[in-house]
Chain A
Amino acid sequence: GENVEQHPSTLSVQEGDSAVIKCTYSDSASNYFPWYKQELGKRPQLIIDIRSNVGEKKDQRIAVTLNKTAKHFSLHITETQPEDSAVYFCAARPLNSGYSTLTFGKGTMLLVSP
């Protein structure tokens, strides 16, 4: 099945800096890659996603890039703010013979210091 590796496990940045979180996946048939942000005690919230037919997608300070050949995708957060502090999970959605579900990475705890 699909395997998603996520790095780093912890990332500390100063407010205003950029943050990059990277994920690799194993199943070349995966075609949908969402990123979730989970604040302490809250639900995972979808913040951005990318389909396999595009290489980059931006939404204000957040961007995701996808390299299908290398089977990796990355989350980029610019001008980080303390409220960006959370755990971020990447995921991949493989297409198998029947139903497809999300396979999550292990998460990255992002800490943004004022």
Chain B
Amino acid sequence: DTEVTQTPKHLVMGMTNKKSLKCEQHMGHRAMYWYKQKAKKPPELMFVYSYEKLSINESVPSRFSPECPNSSLLNLHLHALQPEDSALYLCASSQDMRQGASYNEQFFGPGTRLTVL
């Protein structure tokens, strides 16, 4: 399996809802990433997990809560979002990301299109 999968494809939620985005890969990659992408903009890094540990949090508001239950799964828990959080949320994975590791291509999932009403 050489793909990163994400569910759901689309999500509409109210500002008081709690929802979760899911990401899965079976390539044995040990680094997983959450990105947020607005229309016509580049992906914007949110979180990075390396070996199931949160390594990078790019000052993301606490209404976004990541979780890495195991090396294949990555979740993003959403609570009390704002309309400006509406975007495409992309998951990505790479073989590794520690300094000194071999160069790492990042493979993206298809994304979840999130709309916050």
The chain A residues found within 8 Å of chain B, CB to CB, are 31-32, 34, 36, 42-46, 49, 51, 87, 89, 93, 95-102, 104-107, 109
Minimal beta-carbon separation of B83 from chain A (angstroms): 21
A101 to B97, Cβ gap below 8 A?
A: yes
| With A42-B110, A43-B110 as contacts: A99 and B42 at CB distance below 8 Å | no
Which B residue's beta carbon lies closest to that of A52?
A: B103
Q: Quick one: CB contact mask for B38-75 with A, threshold 8 Å, 1 for yes?
A: 00111101001010000110000000000000000000
A49 to B42, Cβ gap below 8 A?
A: no
| With A43-B90, A43-B109, A99-B55 as contacts: A93 and B42 at CB distance below 8 Å | no
A99 to B56, Cβ gap below 8 A?
A: yes
Q: Quick one: CB contact mask for B77-117 with A, threshold 8 Å, 1 for yes?
A: 00000000000001000000111000111111111000000
Instruction: List 14 A–B pairs whose Cβ atoms lie within 8 Å, in order of A's numbering.
Output: A31-B103, A32-B104, A34-B106, A43-B109, A44-B90, A49-B103, A89-B43, A93-B103, A96-B99, A97-B99, A99-B55, A99-B99, A101-B56, A104-B43
Q: In whole angstroms, what is the CA distance A96 to B108 when docked?
A: 23
Q: In whole angstroms, what is the CA distance A51 to B103 when docked?
A: 8
Q: Which residues of A contact B97 (CB under 8 A)?
A: 99-101
Q: Beyond the given A46-B105, A97-B99, A107-B42, could you list 12 further A-B residue pairs with CB under 8 A, ordered by the A residue number?
A: A34-B106, A43-B90, A43-B109, A87-B40, A93-B104, A95-B99, A96-B99, A98-B55, A98-B99, A99-B97, A99-B99, A101-B97
Interface of B is mostly: loop
Q: In whole angstroms, what is the CA distance A43 to B25 when docked?
A: 15
The chain B residues found within 8 Å of chain A, CB to CB, are 33, 40-43, 45, 48, 50, 55-56, 90, 97-99, 103-111
Which B residue's beta carbon lies closest to that of A46?
A: B105
Q: In whole angstroms, what is the CA distance A49 to B103 when docked?
A: 10
A43 to B108, Cβ gap below 8 A?
A: yes
B42 to A105, Cβ gap below 8 A?
A: yes
A32 to B108, Cβ gap below 8 A?
A: no
Q: In whole angstroms, what is the CA distance A44 to B88 when docked?
A: 12
A99 to B108, Cβ gap below 8 A?
A: no
